[in-house]
Amino acid sequence: MEFKVSNQVYNPLLKRKEVSIEIDHKGEGTPHRFDVRKRMASKFGAKIENVFVIDLRTSTGVEKAVCSLQIYDDPATAALTVPEHLAIRNLPPEERAKKKEAKPAEAEKAAPAPTKPAAKAGKEPETKPAVKAEAKPPK
């Protein structure tokens, strides 16, 4: 697998390096985001926590992928900027599976359970008789 940097720009406002790379993966499938992340962290001399794969695309029948990376100066800035779904996509496969399992459990805790009125044993719930409003003659 061969990695070629096609564009590299530093964004001082967001304190990150924005990199576009082309990945030649002849005879192999499209590489996983985490593998690209590890490789680019070592290539740019950054910590893996600061590198995020934003986009990874391969066209049908082509053995090249185009990838967009963001390499942050510090993980605190990355935590504020990178959306949660992208941060989860960049996790190792086993950690990602744990997050997916934990998410439905959190959703169940957060959603309030539907409440039913308490029914007394042996009695029907009380209903009030309907009151008809008498029509008043117009003045």
Per-residue pLDDT of the chain (139 residues; tens, 9 = 90+): 888 888 999 999 999 999 999 999 888 888 889 999 999 999 999 999 999 999 999 888 888 999 999 999 999 999 999 999 899 888 888 888 888 788 776 666 766 656 665 555 566 666 666 666 676 777 7
Is residue 84 in a domain?
A: yes
Kindly report the pTM of this predicted structure.
0.68
Is residue 113 in a domain?
A: no
Residue indicated by tokens 């359970």: 113
Cα(79)–Cα(18) distance, integer angstroms: 16
Instruction: For residue 108, give the 3-state DSSP assignment.
Output: helix
Give me the amino acid identity at 73.
D
Give me the amino acid identity at 39.
R
Is residue 134 in a domain?
A: no
Cα(90)–Cα(36) distance, integer angstroms: 10
pLDDT of res. 102: 80
Is residue 22 in a domain?
A: yes
pLDDT of res. 118: 57
CATH code assigned at 55: 3.30.70.330
Number of separate domains in the chain: 1
Is residue 99 in a domain?
A: yes
Q: What are the tokens at 133?
A: 């409003």
Neighbours of 49 (CB within 10 A): 14
Is residue 121 in a domain?
A: no
Is residue 95 in a domain?
A: yes
Domain that holds residue 75: 2-108
Is residue 135 in a domain?
A: no
Distances (CA, A) of 24 to 30, 53, 67, 119: 9, 16, 11, 68
pLDDT of res. 17: 94
